[in-house]
Structure 1
């Protein structure tokens, strides 16, 4: 375990340069004291590793030093082949590159690891989209990906859900995310551009002109755009730099949490049978685990506070559970369900 950690420290410093003990500890999931001991062990073994104290200090390898201890373990080789995603890679125009990289990797492996990697590839297949998701054409994905990679502003025509349905945008692309088989572009709307949000009128035009003269591109906070809803795209030569400190994975995590929070702004107290409780998913399943307790009136049932999107959505959801669920509050939702049930009884009676 220690030898693997020492090798990881060497590779981290070789690829990233100077790193503090705290950064190494966070990356390796160990204590800072453990990093100090590991650094002493590496120095004692003759590795040209030195550390500087102070605010801008940290550990660093002597310039030009590189370790050749880069062999893959069995698990690492299997994991690399398991991460191969030919579908998304082909959509990005990297299908051949992925195949060539896997071929080179396989050829470089020793025979025993090659056999294990082949077995992993034959027995595991990654198919990310859900069962009922239809394939959506993304004709401009390769162009958008190229703009993301090169850091160039793009001019797009975008189809959105509200009126006006089709709008023109100038976007500073930050990154692409593949979620459940669908591609999303995270980008900032370039301020001062025609149709850009948050920069309308003379004030926006004045800011844009000032930015142009300064050689910079100002843009709004990151927004999410579905790539399959892009109807036209043209790449410009304007440079779109990432905001300082921007991390795509962290932004996406926060955006998802914010989406779920806004998706379920209200709550309902519900009585559920064991079968109904087993059908809950996502935020409602988590709320059930956090707030659920045995119902005092019905044995085997659970009472919980569940997040709901709206009264109309909650009505449809709980009616679908039929006699396996009962809404206790809010009273307005309960009355709405009672009225619907009365209308259904009259129709079928």
Structure 2
């Protein structure tokens, strides 16, 4: 038998819960005892919790919890794992290489029919995501490892278009993937508060000798959304926004990260939101523009006025563009 067959046979024998010596395994499989030791070393390296007990009643055994759990995945579980790997890979998951090795192992221990099923299902799912720069992978790996081990990092971070960078100590509590971007959430020693940082703006990370304890109730997802949503505790007044439109348009609005959290009422062909004033004059109009005539803003008038100003400015911009092109062609 091949080494893979021997390893699988040893694993099945130990799953029975019975303690066996290397010689007993060798006699059962009709292989050399040195082959047994090599196979068990490989199984341990692969993560199988095999314990070696010494003494007169010694031998190899496998941890009870592992022995009692199913060793093989059924067809639905295999499909789910392959599909999950596709989503993870396209999102820029930092441990893609290890994930691919796991999927390769899954395929290795399947028969031809099962392998054909896996290949058919893996070709039936695609994910459209903005391409993630390969340089982010080592940064994400460092952040995830530091979060798991509670190690403070020295982080050099760019402020974006300004070009300036600042170095600070940072306790990464977790990484978040949201709308095609990776973020790191944690405690910033420079600002003395919990903050979010875009990973693509991190210039460098260095480990330090300092350690930290992540708060037990910390949620990186909640922190990120909390920094993006209107501050309900601020003194800035919230404005009642009423939008009328087709059901599919209102459904999309209700699923948006901002609108979905500010929805207060939904009725037939109409949705009511509570938004802060600053968002109505900044990014909200630009989000609504692509929907064009498929929606109608019933209130407030200030949002309609802002949209009118933006569209008028855009029309003038393209008119000047067209005029310049006409002059060049003439």
Aligned position for 2:281: 311
Residues 313, 104 of structure 1: alpha-carbon distance in 2 compared, 3 angstrom cutoff:
closer
Residues 144, 337 of structure 1: alpha-carbon distance in 2 compared, 3 angstrom cutoff:
closer
CA distance in 1, matches of 2:76, 2:147: 32
CA distance in 2, matches of 1:345, 1:82: 44
- How many residue pairs end up in the alignment? 243
1:334 to partner: Cα distance: 4.8
User: Residue 252 of structure 1 is aligned with which of 220, 223, 238?
Assistant: 220
Contact 1:268 1:328 in 2 (8 A): no
Residues 135, 319 of structure 1: alpha-carbon distance in 2 compared, 3 angstrom cutoff:
closer
Aligned position for 2:178: 179
Aligned position for 2:153: 154
User: Residue 282 of structure 1 is aligned with which of 247, 253, 256?
Assistant: 256
Aligned position for 2:229: 261
1:274 to partner: Cα distance: 2.7
1:230 to partner: Cα distance: 0.6
1:81 to partner: Cα distance: 1.9
Q: Deviations over 1:15-56 (max 9, x none)?
A: xxxxxxxxxxxxxxxxxxxxxxxxxxxxxxxxxxxxxxxxxx
1:229 to partner: Cα distance: 0.6
Residues 318, 172 of structure 1: alpha-carbon distance in 2 compared, 3 angstrom cutoff:
closer
CA distance in 2, matches of 1:273, 1:110: 53
Residues 106, 263 of structure 1: alpha-carbon distance in 2 compared, 3 angstrom cutoff:
farther
- After TM superposition, the score normalised by the length of structure 1 is 0.54
Aligned CA-pair RMSD? 4.3
Q: Deviations over 1:86-144 (max 9, x none)?
A: 7469863651x33332222222345544432232223334x352xxx354452634443
Q: Deviations over 1:222-265 (max 9, x none)?
A: x221111111221113223322x245xxx134235424532898
Where does structure 1 lack aligned partners over 5 or more consecutive residues? 1-63, 191-195, 199-219, 295-301
Residues 313, 289 of structure 1: alpha-carbon distance in 2 compared, 3 angstrom cutoff:
closer
Aligned position for 1:59: none
User: Residue 206 of structure 2 is aligned with which of 210, 218, 234?
Assistant: 234
CA distance in 1, matches of 2:83, 2:313: 54
CA distance in 2, matches of 1:256, 1:112: 44
1:155 to partner: Cα distance: 0.5
* 1:107 has 2:123 as partner: no
CA distance in 1, matches of 2:131, 2:222: 27
CA distance in 1, matches of 2:92, 2:285: 43
- After TM superposition, the score normalised by the length of structure 2 is 0.56
Contact 1:283 1:307 in 2 (8 A): no
